[in-house]
Amino acid sequence: MNPSSAKLFQPETIFVEHDARDYPLTQEILARLSHLPVQFIDSYHNMAARVLGLNRRIAAEKRALILAVKKGELVKHVERDLFRPTPNEYYIIHSMGCPYDCEYCFLYDYLDHQRPTIFVNLPDLLARLHEVIDAHTDEGDLIFHAGEFSDALAYDHLTNLSQPLVELFAQKRNARLEMRTKSDYVENLFGLTHRGRTVVSWTFNAHEVAKGIEHHTASLASRIAAAQRVQAEGYWVGLRFDPLVWYPAWREGYRKMIAEIFSAIDPDRISDVSLGVFRATPGLKHVVQQRVRRSWLLTGEMVLCTDGKYRYSKPVRREMYRRLAGWIRAHAPQVKIESCMESPEVAAAL
């Protein structure tokens, strides 16, 4: 199911909100996909699920594309990490849903449907970013994350969104952009004036995990090669080992992954590293159980934590963090390593 590199997302049908039809980005995308049927709709919210089995429904939904106007928050303050303060961090809501099919994705419990949705009111987004950044007078950089509710680069061959975002942040002295991805499509990042204000982050996982449960994403080797190319363009690269998945051979798998990454990536051009174990709301755990009868994700013993999410037991999490941090520091002793959505007593293992 997993190719050697991610295939560029090519939907089979397109839904366009009536309010979105005249936006320039809508016209550009429709021109690139002119061979596809187009159906006009009132709202991307009102896309009732067909009566299909869960796997068939998700697969069918992910073969569609919705072009919509985002009428709510385009820039949203980060409030999801209960274990660390995030006063200067924001999400960029450029799209919703993802064409990839990572079995652990929180969007399966978060969204009403899984149809990839691109928000075409780009001028509104850019104006809002300018407004939020320019209103900030406190010391310290603001951080804006693209890739929380969708992959940051999975649609870039259709939208070229990376160009205006990178160029906007290049103008700002008090803000940085993080683009998080599992794609290997980085062509639109080349030749831009970024001034070091954009970090391109890859979520990495052991080869067995990437191949087994991160369906349709770029392979581990392809992600590493893309990160290497981006570093050559002068960008900082972030390493996201999240979620770490327990499986019987996880120690050897993750050790090999770290060695492969640092055989190609310059440790002096890494902005930071974050680690987080697989975690699931009860709703997501139910989806995983429904979709895959014997999922790797539920192989390890899971316990319900104080934030209402299931995680591996504390001893397992501590060992995973300790070993990963040790392997990383052996290659990059000065790099900053943080935990993601982890309790302080367990994160201390870093």
Which residue ranges form the domains of the chain, and what is each CATH number? Answer: 13-347 (3.80.30.30)
| CB-side neighbour CA atoms (13 Å) of 246 | 19
Q: What's the pLDDT score for residue 292?
A: 84
* pLDDT of residue 265 exceeding 60: yes
* pLDDT of residue 109 exceeding 70: yes
Indicate the SS3 state at residue 16: strand
- Residue whose entry in the numeric block shows the structure tokens 């790797």: 296
Residues 2/26, Cβ–Cβ less than 8 Å: no
Q: What's the pLDDT score for residue 168?
A: 98
142-156, 212-226, 335-349, range with the lowest pLDDT: 335-349
Q: What's the pLDDT score for residue 84?
A: 67
Mean pLDDT, residues 103-119 taken together: 95
Q: 5: pLDDT confidence band, cut at 50, 70 and 90?
A: low
Mean pLDDT, residues 209-235 taken together: 96
pLDDT in tens, 172-205: 999 999 999 999 999 999 999 999 999 999 999 9
Q: b or e along 185-208 (b: 16 or more beta carbons within 10 Å of the residue's beta carbon)?
A: bbebbeebebeebbbbbbbbbbbb
Q: pTM of this prediction?
A: 0.94
pLDDT in tens, 30-59: 999 999 999 999 999 988 676 678 899 999
Burial of residue 94 (number of CB atoms within 10 Å: 0-12, 13-18, 19+)? buried
